[in-house]
């Protein structure tokens, strides 16, 4: 089990209180982006594509605390940009710890080793290190040779100092599931608490607009990766969300479950789409046309999205909000998902070309039915 009991208790009691109070929409994780500035220029990330005066802006600690206090989510994810470039990130983190928020500080770890002495290990603080695969794959993915080695050095130092550490990977079309499974072995051997993963999304501003998987292909990939699990693998995610990725269950997106706040305000409707900003979380909830988003809406912008900011919250609410969901979650935590069909998928020929130069097209395959 990757997530500590105290964190699960906090989240489960929060969900139950909201359920008992009849609250229809509430946040589980605040995606707090204190800045867009980054020290990488990854293909696949559009967050750095702003004029310099925007990249120089950053949220103050007070603005971060006000957003956290207003929305009340028990967990705060700090992506970016690269949060460790924020000169007051330690003050922000310490202020959130004082508020007893469970923090996932998402970092490429290029600065992690250098800045670790400024942080204090806490059950509330997790460094979520971006690693997209083995050395060759990660370096190619983040468009920087040597990035993997620096990140791994940061991970090992953080683990050594007693910090909670997870890795965080995004998989795009052409990903070889066998490589990913080997990568999981490698990551777990570093002593991390667990793995976080997500399928890529066709983020409108991303420089790479060619390798986005549709939902059928996402399910097939994650079914191949996540079935027949090794006992050493641990995932710092809801088991029900992983089952969603594998095609074993279906959820509808609830973007208000993981709202995003940055220098522009509260992002509508979610972390990935930019369809305006609200001045407050209350305004975001009340004035966003939520029915325009998610699969039931038919909105093409939501067509291939299966990412955690929309779909992990319903999985968590399902897991902690009903006895049936809770039993499924417990079962999912301890199951290895044996699946012969998934083994067959692993034995299919890998996409042609260098594994690092991710193959964009997969010719000759028929659309495959999955269990979703």
Partner 1 sequence: MTAEVLKYTREQIEALEVAPGSQHENLEGWVPELATDEEIKAAIGKALDYRGDVTLTLKSGEKIEAYIFNSHNGPTLADSWVQYFTPKAADKRKVTYAEIARIEFTGKDRAAGKHWEDWVKAYNEKKAAGEKNIALHPDKLE
Residues that bind partner 1 (CB under 8 A): 37-44, 46, 48-57, 140, 143-147, 173, 202, 204-205, 207-217, 263-265, 274, 276-277, 289, 291-292, 295-304, 357, 367, 372
> What is the DSSP-derived secondary structure letter of residue 322?
S
The dihedral over CA atoms of 372, 198, 70, 72, expressed in degrees to the nearest 10, equals 70
Which residue reads 């897991």 in tokens?
Answer: 319
CB of 201 to partner 1, least distance (A): 8
CB of 300 to partner 1, least distance (A): 5
The separation between the first and the last C-alpha atoms of the chain, rounded to the nearest angstrom, is: 26
CB of 197 to partner 1, least distance (A): 18
CB of 13 to partner 1, least distance (A): 34
Nearer to partner 1, 178 or 283 (CB): 283
Burial class (CB in 10 A: 0-12, 13-18, 19+), 66: middle
Nearer to partner 1, 13 or 49 (CB): 49
Nearer to partner 1, 162 or 214 (CB): 214
CB of 365 to partner 1, least distance (A): 8
In sequence order, what are the residues at sequence separation of 6 or more whose Cβ sits closer than 8 angstroms to the Cβ of residue 191? 156, 159, 165
Q: How many CA atoms lie within 13 A of 286 on its CB side?
A: 5
CB of 313 to partner 1, least distance (A): 19
Number of Cβ atoms within 10 Å of the Cβ of 252: 12
DSSP string spanning 17-32?
Answer: HHHHTT-SS--SEEEE
Instruction: Give the C-alpha separation, 258 to 312, whole Å.
Output: 9
* CA neighbor of 36 nearest in space, from 68, 79, 77: 79
CB 19 within 8 A of CB 27: no
Instruction: Give the C-alpha separation, 148 to 152, whole Å.
Output: 6
Nearer to partner 1, 27 or 46 (CB): 46
Which backbone phi and psi does 33 adopt, to 5 degrees?
-100, 100
Nearer to partner 1, 57 or 161 (CB): 57
Instruction: Give the C-alpha separation, 244 to 219, whole Å.
Output: 8
CB of 49 to partner 1, least distance (A): 4
Nearer to partner 1, 121 or 296 (CB): 296
Instruction: Give the C-alpha separation, 137 to 171, whole Å.
Output: 11
CB of 22 to partner 1, least distance (A): 27
In sequence order, what are the residues at sequence separation of 6 or more whose Cβ sits closer than 8 angstroms to the Cβ of residue 161? 116, 121
Nearer to partner 1, 185 or 275 (CB): 275
CB of 148 to partner 1, least distance (A): 12
Nearer to partner 1, 132 or 193 (CB): 132
CB of 124 to partner 1, least distance (A): 30
Nearer to partner 1, 20 or 367 (CB): 367
Nearer to partner 1, 221 or 342 (CB): 221
How far is CA 314 from each of CA 18, 104, 239, 245, 310, rounded to the nearest angstrom?
13, 19, 12, 13, 8
């Amino acid at each position: 089990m990757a997530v500590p009991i105290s964190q699960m208790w906090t989240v489960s009691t929060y969900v139950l209180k909201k359920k008992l109070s009849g609250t229809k929409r509430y946040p589980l994780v605040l995606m707090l982006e204190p800045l867009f500035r980054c020290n990488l220029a990854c293909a696949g990330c559009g967050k750095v594509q702003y004029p310099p005066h925007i990249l120089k802006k950053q949220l103050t600690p007070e603005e971060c605390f006000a957003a956290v206090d207003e929305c009340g989510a028990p967990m705060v994810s700090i992506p970016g940009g690269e949060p460790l470039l924020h000169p007051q990130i330690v003050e922000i983190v310490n202020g959130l710890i004082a508020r007893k928020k469970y923090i996932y500080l998402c970092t490429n770890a290029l600065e992690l080793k250098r800045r670790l002495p400024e942080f204090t290990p806490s059950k509330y603080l997790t460094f979520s290190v971006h690693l997209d695969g083995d050395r060759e794959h990660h370096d190619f993915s983040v468009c920087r040779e040597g990035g993997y080695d620096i990140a791994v050095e940061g991970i090992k130092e953080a683990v050594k100092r007693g910090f909670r550490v997870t890795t965080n990977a995004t998989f795009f079309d052409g990903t070889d599931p066998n490589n990913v499974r080997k990568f999981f072995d490698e990551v777990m051997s570093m002593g991390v608490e667990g793995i976080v993963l997500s399928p890529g999304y066709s983020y409108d501003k991303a420089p790479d607009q060619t390798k986005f998987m549709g939902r059928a292909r996402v399910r097939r990939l994650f079914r191949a990766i996540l079935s027949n699990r090794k006992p050493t693998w641990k995932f710092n995610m809801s088991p029900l969300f992983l089952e969603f990725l594998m095609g074993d269950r279906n959820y509808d997106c609830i973007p208000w479950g993981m709202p995003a706040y940055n220098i522009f305000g509260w992002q509508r409707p979610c972390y990935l789409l930019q369809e305006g900003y609200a001045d407050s979380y209350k305004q975001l909830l009340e004035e966003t046309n939520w029915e325009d988003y998610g699969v039931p809406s038919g909105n093409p912008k939501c067509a291939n999205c299966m990412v955690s900011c929309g779909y992990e919250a319903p999985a968590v609410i399902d897991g902690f909000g009903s006895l049936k969901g809770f039993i499924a979650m417990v079962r999912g935590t301890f199951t290895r998902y044996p699946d012969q069909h998934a083994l067959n998928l692993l034995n299919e020929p890998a996409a042609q070309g260098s594994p690092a130069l991710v193959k964009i097209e997969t010719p000759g395959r028929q659309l495959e039915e999955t269990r979703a």
